[in-house]
Structure 1
C-alpha cells in the first residue's frame, strides 16, 4: 500500500485569504493558491488543476500498463485532462473530468485500442476516486 501526503496552509477568509501547498516529494513547495488562482486565472495553482494533473498522469500510466498486458508498447501517450468545477447548491463540486488522448501505438487496430483505452479509463485509480462524469476522446495516430 502506498500513502502519499501533501499539506495545505490557509490564512484569511475564503475570498481574500491565500494558501500554500507542499507535497511530500517537494514538487509542490509552498506553492501559492487562492480564490484568484481558482476563479480568476491569477498565477498559481488550484485544487482542480492538481486533480487534472493527477487524472492525466494516472490514466496515461494505467493505459501503458494495459497496453503492455496486451503485448503492445506505445511510442507515446499524450493525455490532457480538463476538470470542471460547477456550482452545487450553496457550494461547488467537480462535475466532470474530460480526458483527451492522442496515442501512437504500433500494431493495434482501432477497435482493440478503444477497448483497452476504455478499460484503462475505468480502472485508473483517480477515475475511481472521482464522483464525476469521466469522458474520453481517444485518437490513435496512423
Structure 2
C-alpha cells in the first residue's frame, strides 16, 4: 500500500507561502508558511500533521492489540505533541509525547498499560520517527 501527501511552496522561507494536500482530499490546498509554523498564524504546519498521523496510527494499533486480548474500547483519545527544537545549527523534531485516555470495559490497569506500550513501540508511525516518544496513559472508568 502506498499513500501520498503533497506540498507546493513559492517564495522565500519567511515571506513564502505553501499549501499541503492529501491523496484522500481530507486536506486540499491547506495553507502553511513560516507564520503558521513559528508565529501562530491560522493554517497548518508539518509538526501538527505528524502529530495527527501519529495519534491516529497509535489509536488504531492500540485497538488492534486490545482486540487480540479480547477487549474492545468504547473510546480511545490520543493527543501526540511533537517537539521541534533548534539543534546543531538547524531544526529537528526531537520528541513526541502521547497523551492517551481510554474507556475499555473489562480492562485492568496492567493489561491497559501493556497494550498501550506495545502500540507505542510498534505502530508504523512510531517506527518511522527517530525521536524520543513518551506517553501518559489513563484508563477511565
The match for 2:106 is: 107
Question: In structure 2, what is the equivalent of residue 13 of structure 1?
Answer: 12
Shift of 1:6: 1.5
- Deviation, structure 1 residue 16: 1.0
Partner of 1:98: 97
With structure 1 as the length reference, what TM-score do the two structures score? 0.97
Q: Give how far 1:10 is off.
A: 0.5
Other-structure match for 2:127 = 128
Q: Which residue does the alignment assign to 1:87?
A: 86
Structure 1 residue 12, shift from structure 2 partner: 0.4
The aligned residue for residue 61 of structure 1 is 60
Counterpart Cα distance in 2 of 1:72 and 1:6: 33
Give the deviation of 1:59 after TM superposition.
Answer: 0.4
In structure 2, what is the Cα distance between the partners aligned to 1:130 and 1:74? 26
The secondary structure found in structure 1 opposite 2:6 is strand
Partner SS, residue 7 of structure 2: strand
| DSSP 3-state at the match of 2:65 | helix
TM-score normalised over the length of structure 2: 0.98
Cα deviation 1:9-58 (Å, max 9, x = unaligned): 10000111010111111111111000000000100000000000000000
User: Deviations along 1:48-84, whole A, 9 cap, x unmatched?
Assistant: 0000000000000000000000000100001111000
Unpaired runs of 5+ residues, structure 2, are: none
Once the 2 structures are TM-superposed, how far is the Cα of residue 88 of structure 1 from its aligned partner? Answer: 1.4
C-alpha RMSD of matched pairs (Å): 0.7
Structure 1: gaps spanning 5 or more residues:
none
